[in-house]
Structure 1
Amino acid sequence: GGRHGGGVVSGAAGDVSGRAAGMSRLCARFAARLGGFALDAALDVPAQGVTALFGPSGCGKTTLLRAIAGLSRLPGGLCRMGDETWQEGRQFTPVHERPIGMVFQDARLFSHLDVAGNLRFGLARAQPGGMAWADVVAFLGLGPLLARRVGALSSGERQRVALGRALLAQPRLLLMDEPLAALDAGSVDEIIPPLRALSARFGVPVLYVSHDMGEVERIADHLVLMAAGRVTAAGPLGALLTDLSLGLPNTATVLDTRITGFDPAYELTSCAVDGVALVVPGRLGEVGARLRLIIRAEQVALAATRPAASSVLNQLPARVLDLHAPPGPYVTVKLAIGEGGPVLLARITRLSRDHLALTPGAMVMAQVKASALGVEP
């Protein structure tokens, strides 16, 4: 994530034939009028990792998700998952025959069953030879909860059980409709790590609906933007977050790095991406482990040259790629770090831009305080 370029696809009329040879894809196209709402959306995304559907309330995210699930039958639609066609022409695979798992905003657990009983309901739909009960229970930390009744669970625990039930149904695709929207901040922090890791751990792609960009930054690998019933852009998360023409909220850069070392004397973790090294406070994992860094544009300072002395540990040589100056005092600067390295965004004042005489092609030093980095294992 975060490399400039990145293959962003814009518009709703994209090719839904499955472009990348050798890579399974989720392809869908639906055009329908539902009362006063018109859906005209085409989707073609990798069937791997976490793909977030993002947009304001009422833009069609959940409508598109329900059509992919088969919960809504929209005539003339197309839906393919890898080598399986779920809808095309007159063909329509009903929802109970599609190998999907679903997790909603409300956990929708069976109140008359304990946790183990709810999980077994997922197993009842499963084909043999898939995810093992013990693996799913251990991954989600559900062992201590198995004998509890649903009413005794916290909201975060209920969502973990709902996620376990969906995984035990052995889905080829996991659909999640704003599953964190009703949780408090502590419960969100509890469930984000398994959400980020489950696709890699179990090989199940996730289609994830959200209207919270901060949540998307923490979870997603790919991003699909929607507005007024249409897909307006799609591509790798890092590429879209740094596309200044999209005007996304919460301007940030997401870098998926690998840990390269730990300095016990100063308690600093070092990590790298595309040849660029960064330092983060604390012991955050073993060497080789993935570490996602979220860098807010307003936390990045720019200097014409490397300071002779500075408390800022991350000093990154960079080249200005673009500048975006909407009305107001601020300018967003798009930077390429190093040679062929990742993209970084900086938000500075128009006065600072003029003091530094910033134009595309200018060389600067990007400064990122180690303590300002958001970290996701």
Structure 2
Amino acid sequence: MLSFDIQHRQGDFTLALAAEIGPGLTALSGPSGSGKTSVLNIIAGLIRPQRGHVRLDDTIFVDTARDEWLPPHKRRCGVVFQEARLFPHLSVRQNLLYGHWFNRARGEQADLAGIADLLGIAPLLDRPPGTLSGGEAQRVALGRALLAKPRLLLMDEPLSALDSARKDDILPYLERVRDTAQVPILYVTHAQAEIDRLASRVLVLRAGRLVS
């Protein structure tokens, strides 16, 4: 269970919200500028909130009252951004295995074949990222996040840069991840079609506050 109660001011904008998120996919929706990406960045550790706490099960990510802070690389959050952000000098296979690099100290094996099958990217493993379509690149980015074996998956409008046909191509793969990953997923989007198809719960954010 992910729980957070945060307050953070950036210029004239104030973010203040509290929620609990369990297994399945929770969509965080709302108009542009409502603070959706800031929420993800606080949970991931890319922004340190001025007040409040973020916890995942028994792990404290941040608690300002107790002056506790867990660095981003220790939170085991898989993050998928709007752009795939693949390493251009590495093959698809090498990009995927980079995600597993964070698990080597725990002696965990990389399920490269299983993730490649789940996301339909096995035929792409030896290709350079520059030859991939937008949808293919996003599936590789998702695979890289999953191979890190995250305890939490954060997705920031991962389909916003794709056209309608590519979105339709990747949605079934996101449904597979939702149904098999067994970790909470916080999915930022303002696309109602994605919410209707993927979300088990919807949080609506406006002007830095939850309205539903």
TM above 0.5, one fold? yes
Query: Aligned residue for 2:50?
Result: 75
Q: CA deviation at 1:57?
A: 0.3
- Contact kept? 1:52, 1:207, Cα under 8 Å: yes
Q: CA deviation at 1:96?
A: 1.0
Report the TM-score, using the length of structure 2 for normalisation.
0.94
Residues 18-55 of structure 1 deviation map (CA, whole Å, 9 limit, x = unaligned): xxxxxxx2101111210111111111121x11000000
Aligned partner of 1:209 among 181, 184, 188: 188
| CA distance, structure 2, for counterparts of residue 139 and residue 115 of structure 1 | 15
| CA distance, structure 2, for counterparts of residue 190 and residue 125 of structure 1 | 29
Aligned partner of 2:101 among 102, 113, 124: 124
In terms of fraction of residues, the more helix-rich structure is 2
Query: Aligned residue for 1:105?
Result: 82
Query: Aligned residue for 1:58?
Result: 33
User: Rg: which structure is higher?
Assistant: 1
- Contact kept? 2:151, 2:184, Cα under 8 Å: yes
Q: 1:70 to 1:51 in 2, by over 3 A?
A: same
Query: Aligned residue for 1:28?
Result: 4
Q: CA deviation at 1:200?
A: 2.4
In terms of fraction of residues, the more strand-rich structure is 1
Gaps spanning 5+ residues in structure 1: where?
1-24, 234-377
Please report the RMSD computed on the Cα atoms of aligned residues, expressed in angstroms. 1.2
Aligned partner of 1:168 among 147, 162, 174: 147
- Contact kept? 2:118, 2:176, Cα under 8 Å: no
Tell me the matched-pair count.
208
Runs of 4+ in 1 over 4 A off after TM superposition: none
Name the aligned partner's letter for residue 84 of structure 2. A
Name the aligned partner's letter for residue 79 of structure 1. V
- Contact kept? 1:131, 1:202, Cα under 8 Å: no
Residues 308-341 of structure 1 deviation map (CA, whole Å, 9 limit, x = unaligned): xxxxxxxxxxxxxxxxxxxxxxxxxxxxxxxxxx
SS at match of 2:50: coil
Report the TM-score, using the length of structure 1 for normalisation.
0.54
- Contact kept? 2:97, 2:110, Cα under 8 Å: no
